[in-house]
Amino acid sequence: MNKTTVTIGLASCGVASGGLPVAEELEKLLAGREDVEIKKVGCIGYCYMEPLVSVIRDGKSYTYGKVDVEVLRRVVDEHVNKNSIVKEHLILTGSEASPGGGAENETEKGSENPRADKQVRIVLRNSGLIDPKNIDEYIARDGYRGLSRAVKEMTRDDAIKEVLDSGLRGRGGAGFPTGMKWRFARDAKAGQSNASNPNGVDKYMVCNADEGDPGAFMDRSVLESDPHSVIEGMAIGAYSVGASHGVIYCRAEYPMAIQHVNIALDQARERGFLGKSILGDPDFDFDVYVKEGAGAFVCGEETALIASIEGQRGMPRPRPPFPANSGVWKKPTNINNVETYANVPWILLHGASAFNQYGHGRSKGTKVFALAGKIKKGGLAEVPMGMPLREVIYDIAGGIENDRKFKAVQLGGPSGGCVPEHLLDTPVDYESINATGAIMGSGGMVVMDEDTCVVDVARFFLAFVQKESCGKCPFCRIGTKRMLEILEKITRGEGVLEDIDKLSSLAGQIKDGSLCGLGQTAPNPVQTTLKYFRDEYIAHIVDKKCPAKVCAPLIHYSIDASRCIGCTRCTKACPVSAITGTVKTPHRIDDDVCVRCGLCKKNCPVSCISVD
Amino acid sequence: MTTAVAGAIPDLEARLAPIVEKYRGKEGVAIPLLADVQREVGYVAEEAVNYVSSQLAIPAAELFGVATFYAMFRFRPQGKHVIRLCRGTACHVQGSGRVAEQIERSLGIKDGETTEDLMFTLQYVACLGCCSLAPVMLVGTEVHGRLTPEKAVGVLEELRKR
């Protein structure tokens, strides 16, 4: 028998789902076995099935989902030892090269597997396949060959042209063409010569890994699962624009990502992919360090990010000058996000036309989405641009959990908007999504069903941006506060119809009067929900009802006395003693005391508690 | 407004001396400097900031300006168990608001506060990146997913018993 590899996914999601004890057990079970190799890999994006264990043998990969210690023992005993598949826990079979999707002959338990078939994995090409702490595994899958091609076979201008021709646009949200950004930085007058920079070449390549959009986690996953792809992308960029310094600005909330990147940086230095005279080119010196963010959403904005790298309060400043001319320490600076950089090595290796064969309109290549909310199959998926939202939500994310009715999908986080059912055939590309009033953003996709209140969601996002507003622009600082107060009033049932007009007018003023993306997009969630779900606002304001039964002051719990058996379970469950009644007599809820937590309803054995 | 809690911190200068040396003469160090101070002292204590400020000739106002801007800095000692309850979008639509209310009721504290017995500190955070386990909370380094109000409080009661 050929050598067998057993992989276990230990990115944050895997660990959070209990992957560590499973990994420990795996090591124990296979201790001393020379015919079996254990590999600790990152995330293949099937978060809803974590912890994941794959058995790879004879070029085929079998992935098991929800693997606890018990399941693992069976997998090792039956599959690894006796070559008999444990069918009831198998979720995927595929080729060794691509268990997560994009390869032929994949089936998922009980059905065809559209989640795998419909994906095209460029950014996630190595995620979940390789050990992120081992550079040899990255190199074995064509790692650093894109950089090598750029340095050895291309001029700097050729490399930029390749990226420009690919049509790659910034994956952080704004969608600015990456090649063009690089050209600006390339053309910027290099920094002054000084002792440490005798050539005067002093430009910065910055990676924005401050993934602040609550609901997006692809950058974390890429950094944890395949950090070299980002480092290689930065190195290619550095070669192209002539940068000698690199900074990865990463959220401190992502300790595993930071750890994996630092390990990868050391390894890349050891192998000569970073440092002096990279790949033998005497004019190419480049090194990268990690700068930890300290928790501020606005630092995703590039001028705020630069201020933060310099150790100041992360507040944006007006542009121009653009970072390409005056960025970190006033040096020419290029900033792209994690996903953008991770595309670059693939483009340099396979060529621009291989990349732009995927896509739609002016949006080329793929986009990684973080699927969350009320769906059956959460996780990460990378799809070609142009796929309709409906396919992403129903075929890849498996549709709505508990088969409830779809209400809206929120795209682009706090800067984005809610897209309703009748626009579900919108293709995922920058322009089409902008036309709905939402934005592509970083690719967070939060699905909501009929039990989600869109007014409450709008209030939620506004509370977020209000808290994160840096306070520089009055319209953003005060305007979002006023909008939030109005939304709070409406969700308390104290709204009046004029409030809707006030919201619209404030939204326009905040957009016009704010310096940076945070303020300019902050009203989007309110504007899109007002546009598509005005009825729900009216229900809150006029009827004093929350149709989704979410907004606490507008809902009431009551016990149907004719069906109550007086079991007292609700009384015990109630955290605020709002329920009275003695054993075997009907109980009663005091509406003034009730906090609408819903615990009584959940604990009632005869379903006699209703909410309206 | 967040203000530092006064109170003598034993061996403060000796504990901060290595941190001061690490950053002496460097530019743009406010964030990692404050992070190191917080790691050493447990929080950004006023006297600690004053000390590093005088040693490094960085105005204390500048350090406090940076510290109050970023979410990771805290100005009071923390409880034994730090509860980081995710209030990100995915968690919100899966009901983290109700979980939050129940924890607040059960512990008698609100976001950013610490129980009087210094057992628990409650923090709302934007996103822990485990959206498919929503609602999620991190207690210490342990992740608890698919929470209900009952389950969350159950976890905390278990910890209190330990």
Residues A76-88 pLDDT 10s = 999 999 999 999 9
In a domain, A601, yes or no: yes
User: Do A69 and A216 fall within a single domain?
Assistant: no
Residue A480 is part of a domain; what is its CATH number? 1.20.1440.230
Nearest by CB to A311, which of B31, B101, B148?
A: B31
**Rounded to an integer, what distance in angstroms lies between the CA atom of residue A100 and that of residue A98?**
6
Query: What residues of chain B lie within 8 A of the CB of A577, using their CB?
Result: none
* pLDDT-derived band at A103, boundaries 50, 70, 90: very low
Closest CA to A301 of A467, A528, A525, A521: A521
CB contact under 8 A, B145 and A311: no
Quickly list DSSP for A351-410: -HHHHHTSEETTEESEEEEEEEESBSS-EEEEEETT-BHHIIIIIIS-SBGGG--EEEEE
**Rounded to an integer, what distance in angstroms lies between the CA atom of residue A324 and that of residue A317?**
14
For chain B, the residues whose C-beta falls within 8 A of a C-beta of chain A are 27-32, 34-35, 65-66, 69-73, 87-90, 92-94, 98, 101-102, 105-106, 125-134, 136, 143, 145, 148-150
- Tell me the pTM: 0.92
In a domain, A428, yes or no: yes
Query: What residues of chain B lie within 8 A of the CB of A379, using their CB?
Result: 132
pLDDT digits (tens, 9 = 90+) for B87-111: 988 899 889 999 999 999 999 999 9
Query: Does residue A575 have a cis peptide bond before it, meaning omega lies within 30 degrees of 0?
Result: no
Residue A373 is part of a domain; what is its CATH number? 3.10.20.600
Three-state secondary structure along B60-83? Answer: HHHHHHHHHHCCCCCCCCCCCEEE
Among A503, A518, A543, give the residue marking a domain's end: A543
Ramachandran assignment for A9, one of left (phi > 0), alpha (psi -120 to 50 degrees), beta (any other): beta
Find all residues with CB under 8 Å of A110, minimum gap 6, and list them. none
In a domain, A423, yes or no: yes
Q: Which of B37, B58, B93 to mutate to test the interface with A (most CBs of A within 10 A)?
A: B93
For residues A340 and A171, the answer to whether their CB atoms sit within 8 Å is yes
Query: Does residue A51 have a cis peptide bond before it, meaning omega lies within 30 degrees of 0?
Result: yes
% of chain A at pLDDT higher than 90: 83
For residues A583 and A566, the answer to whether their CB atoms sit within 8 Å is yes
Question: What are the C-alpha distances in Å from A564 to residues A567, A587, A593, A606?
Answer: 8, 7, 20, 7
Residue A475 one-letter amino acid: F
User: Do A148 and A259 fall within a single domain?
Assistant: yes
User: Do B92 and B154 fall within a single domain?
Assistant: yes
| Structure tokens given for A502 | 């006030």
User: Do A345 and A368 fall within a single domain?
Assistant: no
Phi, psi of A587 (to 5 degrees): -95, 170
In a domain, B7, yes or no: no
CB contact under 8 A, B89 and A296: no
In a domain, A549, yes or no: no
Report the pLDDT value the prediction gives residue A97, as an integer from 0 to 100: 55
- When pLDDT is averaged across residues B58-68 and rounded to a whole number, the result is 95
Nearest by CB to B132, which of A15, A48, A308?
A: A48
In a domain, A214, yes or no: yes
Q: Which of B128, B131, B133, B143 to mutate to test the interface with A (most CBs of A within 10 A)?
A: B131
Q: Which helix (H) or strand (E) holds A9?
A: strand A4-9
Inform me whether the C-beta atom of residue A220 falls under 8 Å from chain B C-beta atoms: yes
Nearest by CB to B131, which of A50, A295, A378?
A: A378
In a domain, A124, yes or no: no
Find all residues with CB under 8 Å of A30, minimum gap 6, and list them. A6, A36, A38, A76, A80
CB contact under 8 A, A311 and B29: yes
Q: Indicate if the pLDDT at residue A199 is higher than 90.
A: no
Q: Indicate if the pLDDT at residue A455 is higher than 90.
A: yes
Please count the residues of chain B.
Answer: 162
User: Do B97 and B47 fall within a single domain?
Assistant: no
Find all residues with CB under 8 Å of A444, minimum gap 6, and list them. A213, A214, A215, A216, A369, A370, A372, A410, A411, A412, A413, A416, B89
Query: What residues of chain B lie within 8 A of the CB of A217, using their CB?
Result: 127, 129-131
Inform me whether the C-beta atom of residue A21 falls under 8 Å from chain B C-beta atoms: no
For residues A528 and A418, the answer to whether their CB atoms sit within 8 Å is yes
Residue A364 one-letter amino acid: K
CB contact under 8 A, A598 and B98: yes
- When pLDDT is averaged across residues A28-39 and rounded to a whole number, the result is 94
Query: What residues of chain B lie within 8 A of the CB of A371, using their CB?
Result: 132
Q: Which of A17, A259, A524, A602 to mutate to test the interface with B (most CBs of B within 10 A)?
A: A17
pLDDT digits (tens, 9 = 90+) for A481-528: 999 999 999 999 999 999 999 999 999 999 999 999 999 999 999 999
User: Do A187 and A263 fall within a single domain?
Assistant: yes
Question: What are the C-alpha distances in Å from A341 to residues A106, A131, A347, B115?
Answer: 29, 20, 10, 44
Inform me whether the C-beta atom of residue A444 falls under 8 Å from chain B C-beta atoms: yes
Nearest Cα residue in chain A from B30: A311
Inform me whether the C-beta atom of residue A183 falls under 8 Å from chain B C-beta atoms: no
User: Do B95 and B54 fall within a single domain?
Assistant: no
In a domain, B46, yes or no: yes
Nearest by CB to B130, which of A16, A216, A311?
A: A16
Query: What residues of chain A lie within 8 A of the CB of B30, using their CB?
Result: 311-312
Nearest Cα residue in chain B from A446: B90
Nearest Cα residue in chain B from A450: B93
Q: Which of A46, A221, A256, A312 to mutate to test the interface with B (most CBs of B within 10 A)?
A: A312
| Structure tokens given for A440 | 């592509």
User: Do B89 and B143 fall within a single domain?
Assistant: yes
Report the pLDDT value the prediction gives residue B36, as an integer from 0 to 100: 94
- When pLDDT is averaged across residues A429-436 and rounded to a whole number, the result is 96
Give the distance from residue A508's alpha carbon to the nearest chain B alpha carbon, in angstroms.
Answer: 24
% of chain B at pLDDT higher than 90: 69
- Chain A residues 152-181 with CB within 8 Å of chain B: none
Q: Indicate if the pLDDT at residue A193 is higher than 70.
A: no
Inform me whether the C-beta atom of residue A309 falls under 8 Å from chain B C-beta atoms: yes
Among A61, A80, A112, give the residue marking a domain's end: A112
Nearest by CB to A16, which of B105, B126, B143?
A: B143
User: Do A216 and A253 fall within a single domain?
Assistant: yes
Structure-token match 């190199």, residue found: A139
CB contact under 8 A, B132 and A313: no
Give the distance from residue A19's alpha carbon to the nearest chain B alpha carbon, in angstroms.
Answer: 11
Domain count, chain A: 5
Inform me whether the C-beta atom of residue A452 falls under 8 Å from chain B C-beta atoms: yes
User: Do B123 and B52 fall within a single domain?
Assistant: no
Query: What residues of chain B lie within 8 A of the CB of A211, using their CB?
Result: 129
Quickly list DSSP for A578-597: -EE--TTS--EE-TTT----
User: Do A375 and A240 fall within a single domain?
Assistant: no
- Strand ranges (DSSP E) for A58-152? 60-64, 90-95, 107-108, 111-112
What is chain B's alpha carbon radius of gyration, rounded to the nearest angstrom? 18
Collapsing DSSP to helix, strand or coil, A611 comes out as strand
**Rounded to an integer, what distance in angstroms lies between the CA atom of residue A250 and that of residue A233?**
16
Q: Indicate if the pLDDT at residue A197 is higher than 50.
A: no
In a domain, B76, yes or no: no
User: Do A218 and A308 fall within a single domain?
Assistant: yes
CB pairs under 8 A between A and B: 140
User: Do A102 and A178 fall within a single domain?
Assistant: no
Q: Indicate if the pLDDT at residue A541 is higher than 60.
A: yes
Residue A571 is part of a domain; what is its CATH number? 3.30.70.20
User: Do B48 and B23 fall within a single domain?
Assistant: yes
CB contact under 8 A, A16 and B136: yes
* pLDDT-derived band at B4, boundaries 50, 70, 90: very low
Structure-token match 């520089």, residue found: A472
User: Do A394 and A375 fall within a single domain?
Assistant: yes
Nearest by CB to B65, which of A313, A372, A460?
A: A313
Nearest by CB to A575, which of B93, B102, B145?
A: B102
For residues B103 and B136, the answer to whether their CB atoms sit within 8 Å is no
Average pLDDT, chain A: 92
Q: Indicate if the pLDDT at residue A469 is higher than 90.
A: yes
In a domain, B1, yes or no: no
Query: What residues of chain A lie within 8 A of the CB of B29, using their CB?
Result: 311
How remote is the C-alpha of A341 from its chain's centroid? 15
For residues B114 and B121, the answer to whether their CB atoms sit within 8 Å is yes
- Chain A residues 353-382 with CB within 8 Å of chain B: 370-374, 378-379
**Rounded to an integer, what distance in angstroms lies between the CA atom of residue A90 and that of residue A87?**
5
Residues forming a β-bridge with A293:
A251
User: Do A445 and A458 fall within a single domain?
Assistant: no
* pLDDT-derived band at A403, boundaries 50, 70, 90: confident
Inform me whether the C-beta atom of residue A12 falls under 8 Å from chain B C-beta atoms: yes
User: Do B91 and B155 fall within a single domain?
Assistant: yes
- When pLDDT is averaged across residues A307-334 and rounded to a whole number, the result is 94
Find all residues with CB under 8 Å of B25, minimum gap 6, and list them. none
Question: By residue range, what is the domain housing residue A517?
Answer: 454-543
Query: What residues of chain B lie within 8 A of the CB of A602, using their CB?
Result: 148
Q: Indicate if the pLDDT at residue A452 is higher than 90.
A: yes
In a domain, A128, yes or no: no
Domain count, chain B: 2
Query: What residues of chain B lie within 8 A of the CB of A308, using their CB?
Result: 31
Residue B101 is part of a domain; what is its CATH number? 3.40.30.10
Residue A28 is part of a domain; what is its CATH number? 3.40.30.10
* pLDDT-derived band at B131, boundaries 50, 70, 90: confident
Inform me whether the C-beta atom of residue A402 falls under 8 Å from chain B C-beta atoms: no
Please count the residues of chain A.
Answer: 612
In a domain, B4, yes or no: no
* pLDDT-derived band at A1, boundaries 50, 70, 90: low
Give the distance from residue A36's alpha carbon to the nearest chain B alpha carbon, in angstroms.
Answer: 31
Q: Indicate if the pLDDT at residue B2 is higher than 50.
A: no
Least confident segment among A97-106, A490-499, B74-83 = A97-106
In a domain, B92, yes or no: yes
pLDDT digits (tens, 9 = 90+) for A219-237: 999 999 999 999 999 999 9
In a domain, B74, yes or no: no
Find all residues with CB under 8 Å of A372, minimum gap 6, and list them. A215, A378, A444, A445, A446, A447, B89, B90, B131, B132, B134
- Which class for B46: exposed (0-12), middle (13-18), buried (19 or more C-beta within 10 A)? middle
Whether the CA torsion A219, B112, B83, B78 is positive or negative: it is positive
CB contact under 8 A, A452 and B93: yes
Q: Which helix (H) or strand (E) holds A148?
A: helix A145-153
CA dihedral A128, A133, A136, A138 (to 10 degrees): 40
User: Do A494 and A562 fall within a single domain?
Assistant: no
For residues A578 and A590, the answer to whether their CB atoms sit within 8 Å is yes
User: Do B149 and B88 fall within a single domain?
Assistant: yes
Nearest by CB to A296, which of B35, B71, B127?
A: B71
Among B69, B90, B114, give the residue marking a domain's end: B69
Query: What residues of chain A lie within 8 A of the CB of B52, using their CB?
Result: none
More confident residue, A94 or A418: A418
In a domain, B93, yes or no: yes
User: Do A270 and A367 fall within a single domain?
Assistant: no
Residue A558 one-letter amino acid: S
Question: By residue range, what is the domain housing residue B140?
Answer: 81-161
In a domain, A300, yes or no: yes
